[in-house]
Amino acid sequence: MTRSNPLLSYGLVGVQLLSLGSIALTGPLFAANPALLLLEGAAGMLGLWAIGTMGIGNFNVTPDVKPRARLVTSGPYRLIRHPMYTALLAGALALVLDAFSPLRLAIWLVLLIDLVVKLNYEERLLSLNLEGYSAHMQRTKRLIPFLY
């Protein structure tokens, strides 16, 4: 098993948590705008669906590959490889747009960059350590079905 860089792994998670926490602390936790509240709810449902499909034992906050990791290609993973990242980005974007400020947008952009770097690093580790992941990458998109 190819080892990860713990400093990088935990650094990426730290930036992710700081970004999400900053968005949560600088505005309401639930969007007031009905369309944005719907987006926030859909993001939450996508995240729960992804965790339920993956299973708690396979779930990992860091991009590191667990020793007994298994490839999941059902549920939302049929179309996108990182549905939990999609859920975080969509839910946080709903909150930013609902109580917009340049600061909150900047924080969301930091989150976006962090998660793209994290998913690239994670995919490198998964390709090296998980049989079938490279083929799964050819069949699916990263964050947005049919687009990216």
Domain residue limits at 42: 6-57+75-139
- Residue 13 belongs to some domain of the structure: yes
For the chain, how many structural domains are there in total?
A: 1
pLDDT digits (tens, 9 = 90+) for 33-44: 999 999 999 999
pLDDT digits (tens, 9 = 90+) for 87-96: 999 999 999 9
CB 94 within 8 A of CB 31: yes
Is this structure's pTM higher than 0.85? yes
- Residue 66 belongs to some domain of the structure: no
- Provide the 10 A C-beta neighbour count for residue 65: 20
Q: What is the pLDDT of residue 1?
A: 64
- Provide the 10 A C-beta neighbour count for residue 147: 8
Q: What is the pLDDT of residue 129?
A: 92
pLDDT digits (tens, 9 = 90+) for 44-78: 999 999 999 998 888 889 999 988 889 999 999 99
- Residue 62 belongs to some domain of the structure: no
- Residue 17 belongs to some domain of the structure: yes
The candidate with the shortest Cα–Cα distance to 99, out of 29, 40, 44, 38, is: 29
Distance separating alpha carbons of residues 49 and 103, to the nearest angstrom: 31
- Residue 93 belongs to some domain of the structure: yes
